[in-house]
Structure 1
């Protein structure tokens, strides 16, 4: 099915992080250069969803290329791409190991997610953006070098220490309810980094001394955590989403509203056209009540969780 969406429509593509700042990114007509709107802590957010949700296409070299068919997307999809664009995206992807020729230096990092410490890789030039995108509470880099060697280190830590390279969204959100202290996060990361020292390191990656970066202040995550009362369900045409931003972490926004603290997964906004609503408009998007998660286990117990 081909789309009939107007080429003049601006569509949200999700929450983007850069240099410690969060913004809502847009797919716009023209040269494909992304536009952004800041998502500042304490700011009022109020918008109305448009008539339909469409594929956001591909991003290459900092520019977005429109989906050739403007394919419609189901409201509940957390992917903002149609199957054809997903396939094309994975054909040239670091995550899918289809761009192993990338000549940039890559870092291997440890990321703290409450009950779990994970291992991952990111291009050095991206700084901490990758950690902020995934909602890591704290992190440290343990080595830098070539992409192929970074992938070997990542696999080594998975096999030798049982460190996962992915953490579920539900576990990340549970960690935000009981984040612990910065000192506890640093201790868990340093202990993991210490256990890495006994491993034989692949050539092409140079070990670095761990320097802990705690990200909770950047997000606006309170020391005693966040326990939202409800989550916004997949929007439908004409839904009004309104509230005051109290925290932005990973792809999630936490909004203060008359209904209490509400969680908005911005992946559900991607592909919708959004228009500004008056700040005093009531929230009309459907909500799902949430219950507060229990306090997580310590990261030292993570082997039993996977």
Structure 2
């Protein structure tokens, strides 16, 4: 892992979050100190995470037009915040997000409309075609299919059509995604569920501007990796504080979460709680001192998230 500054010193390396590339590789993305090149730290399953929480947690700015713009205020963030942006940077990010209606509709790039399997729910979504499966992997989809490609305005019309006609949501909560990981089922079962949803779409009048594609269902569970018997962490990392250590073997990387094997058992780390903190290296065999919240039975876990 990265980080060579001492606590309280500047500049500092600050993680932004998990980032999947179009070639289906995952890494921890870092907000580089001024004058340094951005960096990605690979997070292979079976690898070791060992970091020390530094002096403070600050806004990591916003990505715009393919580059990251620093927060002009270097605003401090609360330890419990699950977004590593201040209010101003968060508002700017929202205006450029494909997931919101404030996105610019004169975008000439090609967009795909997809279905994503999240256990008990299948959602509809939009992603730039050039991103490949990266958007699906970032949200932790267990399986997916591209329904059509074309312009962004037409993609929005398709998304709304599927929501109105079939009741497909365009968002799935973190609690539902984590519950699905506990009992993910089999690839065949996920394929059947997505195929049924595709069948429901066949009789709908597709808006012009989006061309239907021959559906090819892709299963993603092996990339995280997600075992067929599921992931059932015994505890989750609570909001962090300076001087605490996170150390464990990476079991899985999925959505915004890392699952770590520790002496206490499998622990869930929501990387959104890590983003924005100054981080430093610590010894690979360092003691895990970050605070944990024990997780109750699966049926009650969604109350925590």
**Same-fold call, TM cutoff 0.5:** yes
Of 282, 286, 290, the match for 1:281: 286
Say if 1:107 and 1:31 are closer, same or farther in 2 by CA, change over 3 A. farther
Q: Which moved more, 1:117-126 or 1:91-100?
A: 91-100
C-alpha contact 2:12 2:279 (8 A) present in aligned 1: no
The runs of 5 or more residues in structure 2 that have no matched partner are: 1-7, 301-305
C-alpha contact 2:122 2:168 (8 A) present in aligned 1: yes
Q: How far, CA to CA, are the matches of 1:256 and 1:222 in structure 2?
A: 14
Q: Which residue in 1 is equivalent to 2:269?
A: 264
Q: Which residue in 1 is equivalent to 2:4?
A: none
Q: Which residue in 2 is equivalent to 1:134?
A: 139
Q: Which residue in 1 is equivalent to 2:11?
A: 8
Q: Which residue in 2 is equivalent to 1:163?
A: 168
Matched, 1:50 2:61: no
Of 238, 246, 263, the match for 1:241: 246
SS at match of 2:171: coil
Q: Which residue in 2 is equivalent to 1:208?
A: 213
C-alpha contact 2:98 2:126 (8 A) present in aligned 1: no
Matched, 1:227 2:249: no
1:21 Cα deviation after fit: 1.2
1:68-87 correspondence to structure 2 within 5 Å:
68-87=72-91
Q: Which residue in 2 is equivalent to 1:65?
A: 69
Q: How far, CA to CA, are the matches of 1:93 and 1:240 in structure 2?
A: 34
1:58 Cα deviation after fit: 1.1
1:102 Cα deviation after fit: 1.2
Off by >6 Å, runs of 4+ in structure 1: none
Q: How far, CA to CA, are the matches of 2:273 and 2:133 in structure 1?
A: 24
Of 113, 116, 132, the match for 1:111: 116
Of 136, 145, 148, the match for 2:150: 145
1:139 Cα deviation after fit: 0.3
Q: Which residue in 2 is equivalent to 1:36?
A: 40
The size of the alignment, in residue pairs, is: 291
Q: Which moved more, 1:153-162 or 1:205-214?
A: 205-214
Q: Which residue in 2 is equivalent to 1:298?
A: none
Q: Which residue in 1 is equivalent to 2:20?
A: 17
1:9 Cα deviation after fit: 1.2
C-alpha contact 2:107 2:152 (8 A) present in aligned 1: yes
Q: How far, CA to CA, are the matches of 1:143 and 1:227 in structure 2?
A: 35
Q: How far, CA to CA, are the matches of 2:91 and 2:68 in structure 1?
A: 16
Q: Which moved more, 1:285-294 or 1:64-73?
A: 285-294
The runs of 5 or more residues in structure 1 that have no matched partner are: 296-306
Q: How far, CA to CA, are the matches of 1:77 and 1:262 in structure 2?
A: 19
Q: Which moved more, 1:92-101 or 1:266-275?
A: 92-101
In the superposition, the TM-score normalised over structure 2's length comes to: 0.93
